[in-house]
């Protein structure tokens, strides 16, 4: 029980804790389902790609030496001996001074080392070709293994699979691939004033927003949200639900409990879970300071603030990096996603905490402006208006108008 | 039949054609499934949010006037008359000089207009409260309707539903919502040299990459990819498949056919579809110039270049905006997503076309650099290395090292 301990942890120190948690195990899935998943194996080229010298233009395969010195005024004359059929090996080889017709994607016959583009040639008669350019060997073709040679390491465990990586897996015949299982995130909403969304709120009640905003964030971050409903502010109920959730999930998010009493229940419930420990009780971030991070059975258990905006901002800034770790990600693919913009007005900030300012992005006179959105962190309209977050560091007293800032898209 | 016509269209003019296509019809889905979907109705606040004056802090509800002039040295003394239970209306009202205990999220009783934070108070005895700050009316609370008043337009048709919009729908009790149906995109891969990915390629064959890279791009762009397999380079086969695909899809992508012969088949097949027209035959973009855009039954039919990189770049630059239109999107949410970086070296470009340069993003000495990736557009490794695209305009001869460029994430 550590409920009397409330020392705020610096954001950077909290983020360092992510690697202490267990990654999800692997599973094998068809590559059609693999976009945005994390690779869980190293992929080695089991053959050359392409497997043959390949034309990248429509034209004529030939030995480049036969065209050296050729020009519009002084074309090289070659003997056209046939054509390459797509998907079939060329029969015979191309002798010096000979050419063979080839289409984009066709195989370059033996003896040829380049392709003259059809635009740079003219057929004098069905067997005689004029070439108006001097070609370097290798022109307009890719060599066997030029994309990836056999044995090359092509993708590493931990990388995010984008459309290009999916294409690459297809190129090597990988119809299925090992990926990290999507983390299951149990979501527990707490608060005596919260009612289910299909219910008409009473005079002092409010509908359950956090279950849905948190679920959406989990889905968009590569996890599978599982809702455990709304739990009243009773320790026994919260503990019973958390026990079920920690058993079935890779991470737990308890939202609500911004009031002192509920916060205590959250701390107590996390502390009573199997193999548990409270790691963080308060983070130097605004909004979001009353965030709790515990561990149970090597799984993170979050106590997020109840205010809708605070919980979403803490998710973006703190929870998401943990989810990235748990889902196995170690690469840098697509990591640089912040947008640069000029602040439209001065923003002040308190020293000793990281301030996350909601901003709207807008173009004005050809510049991208970040306009701070003011408003309490209990107002969801401020998040709906926002395109991103600007982070003002621990030791800054604020940022001046026209400062170039880095905006985290939300 | 317009196959003899090959006038390159400027990229900007191609993009203007998007609005000429039919949007998908609406459907109703649960909000849990709605992240990243496009809203197909206007949402009006049917009640105030919140429905009551609400505390955003743990503290004491009171009439601010009773604290005017209060300070640490000269606290205001108030009579504590009770406490507000979460989720229940306060009974009775707060008289001048009275205070009622309230937790975060609790209802402010009648007569009170602000909340003194618990940190700024001290209980002298169970019924006597000292307040050490002078409060302005409205402090530490949100008013009934302050987030959204009844009757306010809160979300508009055509907007992308992010996690915050999902939360907002929950706040108004919308368990389900009308969205645009996801566009079904039929994908046809062509080429006599292409074999299915589970097959061992022969000496002049290559596996089908485009079906998988295009499917991944369609999924990530909010569409549903449906593969029509690999079609040999025969007009009759291509036409038969396109007829099936156009019947069942909202958009068709025919990939492959970069060679002149196949390009002709694609043009002929599109021209033979019901109510068809060739709109674009060549775009001033590199890579990707031989792109074809036709229309059949108000649906776009694309003939994309066969080179894996060209087809992916054309998807990002040209096809995706059409897909955004068809899936109903009209908002600006999250539209500013380009990343600013400094070019690490000079890049030359031909005038008269838009050049799309693949770049890798990397941090160096605190600056974000965009390093151009050189390599033929038949090499998928260049896309796997890339984090984004830098676009060099029609009339530019190139960009110099250290130019600040806008990088489209890929």
Question: Model confidence over A344-377: pLDDT tens digits?
Answer: 999 999 888 999 999 999 999 989 999 999 888 8
Question: pLDDT at position A3, please?
Answer: 40
Which residue in A197, A217, A224, A218 sits closest to A209, CA to CA? A197
Question: pLDDT at position A352, please?
Answer: 87
Residue A351, CA distances (Å) to A313, A374, A402, A404, B116 in order: 19, 19, 21, 20, 23
Query: Cβ contacts (< 8 Å) between A60 and chain B: which residues?
Result: none
**Letter string b/e over residues A63-83, b meaning 16 or more CB atoms within 10 A of that residue's CB:** bbebbeebeeeebbebebbee
User: Burial level of A261, CB count in 10 A (0-12/13-18/19+)?
Assistant: middle
Locate tokens 């869980």: which residue? A40
Q: Which two tokens stand for residue B232?
A: 């040999």
Average pLDDT value over all residues in chain B: 94
Q: Is the pLDDT of residue B364 over 90?
A: yes
A298: closest CA of chain B, how far (Å): 28
Query: How many A-B residue pairs are in contact by the CB < 8 A criterion?
Result: 299
Which residue in A164, A234, A178, A191 sits closest to B409, CA to CA? A164
Question: pLDDT at position A90, please?
Answer: 84
A276: closest CA of chain B, how far (Å): 27
User: Burial level of A319, CB count in 10 A (0-12/13-18/19+)?
Assistant: buried
Over range B226-232, report the average pLDDT: 96
How far, in Å, CA of A259 to CA of B257, rounded? 64
Of B334, B378, B383, the CB nearest to A387: B334
Query: pLDDT band at B3, cuts 50/70/90?
Result: very low
Which residue in A366, A401, A408 sits closest to A387, CA to CA? A408
Low-confidence residues of chain A: pLDDT under 70: 1-6, 257-259, 334
ipTM over 0.90: yes
Question: pLDDT at position A258, please?
Answer: 61
Where would I find the beta strands (DSSP E) of A152-223? 153-155, 176-180, 184-190, 194-195, 206-207
Using the beta-carbon criterion (under 8 Å), do B210 and A333 form an inter-chain contact?
no
Which residue in A391, A207, A208 sits closest to A313, CA to CA? A391
Residue from B37, B136, B167, B179 whose CB has the most chain A CBs within 10 Å, to mutate: B167
Q: What is the DSSP letter of A151?
A: T
Average pLDDT value over all residues in chain A: 94
CB of A205 within 8 Å of a chain B CB? The answer is yes
CB of A226 within 8 Å of a chain B CB? The answer is no
Over range B348-355, report the average pLDDT: 90
Residues 6+ positions from B93 with CB-CB distance below 8 Å: B109, B110, B111, B112
Q: How far apart are the first and last CA of chain A?
A: 36
Question: In whole angstroms, how large is the CA radius of gyration of chain B?
Answer: 31
How far, in Å, CA of B174 to CA of B161, rounded? 13
Question: pLDDT at position B1, please?
Answer: 34
Q: What are phi and psi of A323, to 5 degrees?
A: -65, -40
How far, in Å, CA of A217 to CA of A374, rounded? 23
Locate tokens 């409205």: which residue? B138
Find out whether A262 and A192 touch, Cβ atoms under 8 Å.
Answer: no
How far, in Å, CA of A54 to CA of A11, rounded? 53
3-state secondary structure of A158: coil
How far, in Å, CA of A213 to CA of B168, rounded? 8
CB of B294 within 8 Å of a chain A CB? The answer is no
Query: pLDDT band at B259, cuts 50/70/90?
Result: low
Q: How many CB atoms lie within 10 A of CB B16?
A: 12
CA B63 to chain centre: 45
Question: pLDDT at position A205, please?
Answer: 96
Over range B273-295, report the average pLDDT: 95
A35: closest CA of chain B, how far (Å): 6
DSSP string, B314-363: HIIIIIHHHHHHHTT----TT---PEEEEESS-EE--TTSEEEEEEEEEE
Half-sphere exposure of residue A128: CA atoms within 13 angstroms, side-chain side: 5
Q: Domains of chain B by range and CATH?
A: 11-24+182-326 (3.40.980.10), 28-48+148-180 (3.90.105.10), 54-142 (2.170.190.11), 339-409 (2.40.340.10)
Question: pLDDT at position B351, please?
Answer: 84
Q: Which two tokens stand for residue A283?
A: 């983070």
Query: pLDDT band at B388, cuts 50/70/90?
Result: very high
Where would I find the beta strands (DSSP E) of B202-268? 206-207, 224-231, 251-255
How far, in Å, CA of B321 to CA of B11, rounded? 12
Which residue in A359, A344, A351 sits closest to A392, CA to CA? A351
CB of B307 within 8 Å of a chain A CB? The answer is yes
CA-based torsion, B366, B370, B374, B376: positive or negative: positive
Find out whether A346 and A401 touch, Cβ atoms under 8 Å.
Answer: yes
CB of B380 within 8 Å of a chain A CB? The answer is yes
Q: Which two tokens stand for residue B181?
A: 């149906």
Query: Which chain A residue lies closest to B263 (C-alpha atoms)?
Result: A104
Q: Which two tokens stand for residue A355?
A: 């301030």
Residue from A143, A156, A336 whose CB has the most chain B CBs within 10 Å, to mutate: A336
Query: pLDDT band at B2, cuts 50/70/90?
Result: very low
Query: Cβ contacts (< 8 Å) between B176 and chain A: which residues?
Result: none
Of B175, B340, B381, the CB nearest to A197: B175
CB of A209 within 8 Å of a chain B CB? The answer is yes
């Amino acid at each position: 029980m550590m409920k009397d301990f409330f020392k705020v942890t610096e954001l950077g120190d909290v983020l360092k804790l992510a690697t202490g948690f267990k990654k999800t195990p692997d599973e094998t899935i068809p590559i059609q389902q693999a976009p945005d998943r994390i690779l869980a194996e190293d992929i080695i080229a089991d053959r050359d790609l392409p497997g043959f010298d390949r034309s990248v233009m429509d034209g004529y395969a030939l030995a480049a030496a036969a065209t050296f010195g050729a020009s519009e005024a002084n074309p090289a004359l070659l003997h056209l001996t046939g054509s390459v059929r797509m998907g079939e090996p060329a029969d015979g080889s191309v002798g010096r001074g000979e050419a063979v017709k080839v289409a984009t994607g066709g195989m370059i016959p033996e003896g040829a080392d380049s392709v003259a583009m059809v635009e740079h040639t003219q057929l004098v008669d069905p067997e005689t070709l004029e070439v108006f350019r001097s070609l370097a060997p290798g022109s307009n073709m890719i060599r066997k293994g030029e994309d990836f040679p056999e044995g090359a390491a092509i993708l590493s465990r931990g990388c995010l699979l984008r459309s290009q990586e999916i294409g690459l897996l297809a190129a090597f015949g990988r119809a299925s691939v090992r990926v990290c299982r999507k983390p299951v995130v149990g979501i527990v909403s707490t608060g005596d004033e919260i009612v289910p969304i299909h219910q008409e709120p009473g005079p002092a009640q409010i509908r359950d927003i956090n279950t849905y905003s948190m679920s959406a964030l989990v889905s968009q971050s590569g996890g599978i949200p599982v809702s455990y409903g709304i739990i009243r502010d009773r320790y026994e109920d919260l503990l019973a639900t958390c026990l079920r959730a920690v058993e079935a999930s890779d991470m737990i998010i308890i939202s609500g409990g911004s009031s002192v009493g509920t916060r205590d229940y959250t701390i107590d419930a996390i502390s009573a879970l199997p193999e548990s420990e409270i790691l963080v009780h308060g983070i130097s971030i605004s909004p979001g300071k009353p965030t709790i991070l515990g561990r149970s059975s090597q799984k993170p258990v979050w106590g997020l603030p109840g205010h809708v905006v605070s919980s979403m901002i803490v998710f973006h800034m703190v929870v998401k990096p943990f989810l990235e770790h748990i889902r196995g990600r170690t690469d840098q693919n697509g990591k640089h996603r912040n947008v640069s913009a000029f602040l439209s007005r001065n923003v002040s900030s308190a020293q000793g905490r990281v301030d996350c300012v909601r901003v709207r992005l807008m173009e004005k006179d050809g510049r991208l402006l970040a306009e701070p959105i003011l408003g309490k962190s209990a107002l969801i309209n401020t998040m709906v208006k926002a395109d991103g977050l600007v982070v003002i560091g621990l030791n800054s007293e604020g940022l001046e108008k026209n400062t170039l800032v880095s905006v985290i898209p939300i």
